[in-house]
Structure 1
Amino acid sequence: MSALRGKWLALLCLMPFALFFVAFQIAPLLWVASNSLHTAEGWGLGNFSEAFASPFYRQAMRHSLEVAFWSSLIGISIAILGSYSLRQVDSKLRDFVMAFTNMTSNFAGVPLAFAFVILLGFNGALTILLKQAGIIEDFNLYSKTGLIVLYTYFQIPLGVLLLYPAFDALREDWRESAELLGASNWQFWRYIGFPVLTPALLGTFVILMANALGAYATVYALTTGNFNILPIRIAAMVSGDIFLDPNMASALAMILVGLMTLITLVHQWLLRRSYHVSR
């Protein structure tokens, strides 16, 4: 009886979260999915056909994927080095860096865009210094390359916060044992370190991709909506900046969900494959 009472108590405690999840996650997704199938002629896949047939919308999809992929790849690469290095430094310095990382992970949106304009805009302080030093000839913050740099900035702190605990799984005696058996540093990472960290690395990369694919405020504040990515196109059709078409906006939103679902499925496949290889 006590076990049954405990299960019912756990279910009651879960109810607020379940209601919140259904109301703010499942219901809006179903509403968007339903509207994406509504066209002027009735119900069908016309919005999706138009989206994939249009070079303009295909460009938005390509730009979104390119910016998200490269910013996530560069961000996780730096985050791996940063997380591993934090394990090797003094605890006070480590605590300071982690506190700073927590703070910078929340520095995004409009303030981040303005900060980058001041630093790396056409007449930004850092841009002028780099030009005077002869390091760069020109840099366009408002281009795809500039957006990748901007996105990478807010990807790094998130990557460090997600990867830092993963390095707890690497025990120092494993390295010592590998060295005693004659393994080089590369062999340790190739056969022990990276296989252990693979689930965390893949999971972090997927989260960074989702973070970048859904970013809106930063790129809108930086380019005033002139750079063609999916969140900008969706917002423009919902707010009516060009023309009001919420059904097409819903279709583009579902395409964004589909891209993220595809990335997650690839992530799960890679996880299973790495698990079988490690066995």
Structure 2
Amino acid sequence: MLLVLLPLVIWICAFELVPIVQMIIMSFQTDDGQGFTLDQYVQSLTKPLYVQAILNDLKISFVSSVAALIIALVCAYSITRFTTKLRDTMLMISNMFTNFVGIPLAFSYMIMLGGNGMFTLLFRKLGFESLASFDLYSEKGLMLLYVYYQIPLALLLVYPIYYGIREEWREASMLLGASIWQFWRRIGIPVMLPGILGTFSILLANAMGAYATAYALTGINYNLLPIRIAALVSGDIFPNFQLGSALAVILAVIMLLSLFFNDWMGRLSRRRGI
């Protein structure tokens, strides 16, 4: 029976473990690859260019994750009020939209809100100059795209959390004279909080690792960690695989911490019966 798993083990080792180990080893090597040093990590955490890339990535990931989570919480609660057929349809559509990312998403927004986009020209014709002057190729434009593709994923992750709130809890609180706001503040939100925080950690990791969407929209004009790693690995003149590997390890550590936090929140939710 174990022989059946052999192809899977070979695939995991060849395409997962070996590249990861090689990346970690390379991150400790000197620029010429002949010795070992911590200089790559020192540069990653001290040079303004790379520190800015890390901070920008954390900033845009944090803000977009919070915005998407708030929108998803409202939408998911609305979906729980729908009929079963309509609810399944909405979830199916959300599942489809989670795959609409990368270059197609960036190109779609260029058509709609670019310098000569459809809505940009419409706003200009209607006299809404403040909307027509929106710069899609800036941090705000990038934030808009991140929020857009984070919402469907957040919706799918948040939706089951509402079913952890039992109807008898609501009925008991009403019999005791509690208002709707008091129920959510003292019972609903505390019960849902581990699941909400776990969802936030997944969204944060999802946004931090995004590359294609940001690169397709802004190229190298906006300094993000994935874009900086790609520039170091595929540099046209002087690629620096060692420094790129160090930045990749830092990114991986941040994402792993987010996933471990989600796992911890998941265990806490299960203990609460969600």
> Into which bin does the TM-score normalised by the smaller protein fall?
0.7 to 0.9
Q: Which residue of 1 aligns with 2:30?
A: 39
Please state how far the C-alpha of 1:19 moved relative to its aligned partner.
Answer: 5.1
> Deviations for 1:243-276, whole angstroms, at most 9, x for unmatched residues?
3111111001011122224445666777899999
Offset of 1:100 from its aligned partner? 1.2
Q: Which amino acid aligns with 1:256?
A: L
Q: Conserved in 2, the CA contact under 8 Å of 1:236 and 1:242?
A: no
1:195/1:274 contact within 8 Å kept: no
1:30 aligns to 2:47 (yes or no) = no
Letter of the 1:36 counterpart: S
C-alpha change, 1:35 and 1:122, in structure 2 (3 Å) is: same
My pick for the range that moved more, 119-128 or 212-221, is: 119-128
Partner of 1:127: 120
User: Residue type of the partner of 1:211?
Assistant: N
The CA RMSD measured in Å over matched residues stands at: 2.7
> AA paired with 2:229?
I
Q: Is the 8 A contact 1:84 1:167 kept in 2?
A: yes
Structure-2 residue corresponding to 1:66: 59
1:89 aligns with 2:82: yes
SS at match of 2:63: helix
Unaligned runs of at least 5 residues, structure 1: 1-8
Q: CA deviation at 1:149?
A: 0.7
C-alpha distance in 2, partners of 1:13/1:80? 43
Looking at structure 1, the residues matched to 94 and 260 of structure 2 have their Cα atoms a distance apart, in angstroms, of: 30
Instruction: Report the number of matched residues.
Output: 269
| Number of the residue aligned with 2:169 | 174
CA distance, structure 1, for counterparts of residue 17 and residue 121 of structure 2:
49
Q: In the alignment, what sits opposite 2:217?
A: 222
CA contact (8 A) 2:61 2:208 kept: yes
Separation of aligned partners in 2, 1:115 and 1:26 = 36
Farther off after superposition, 111-120 or 253-262: 253-262
SS of alignment partner, residue 39 of structure 1: coil
* 1:192-271 alignment, distance < 5 Å: 192-241=187-236, 243-264=238-259
CA distance in 2, matches of 1:37, 1:111: 37
Q: Secondary structure of 1:227's match?
A: coil
- CA pair 102-184 structure 1, distance change in 2 beyond 3 A: same
The SS at the match of 1:42 is coil
Which digits, 9 at most, give the CA deviation of each residue in 1:79-100, with x for residues without a partner? Answer: 1111111000122322221121
Compute the displacement of 1:127 (Å): 3.0
What is the deviation of 1:240? Answer: 1.7
The answer as to 2:62 corresponding to 1:50 is no
Amino acid paired to 2:163: D
Using structure 2 for the length normalisation, give the TM-score: 0.87
Query: Which among 131, 142, 146 is matched to residue 151 of structure 1?
Result: 146
TM-score normalised according to structure 1 size: 0.86
Question: Percent of pairs identical after alignment?
Answer: 46
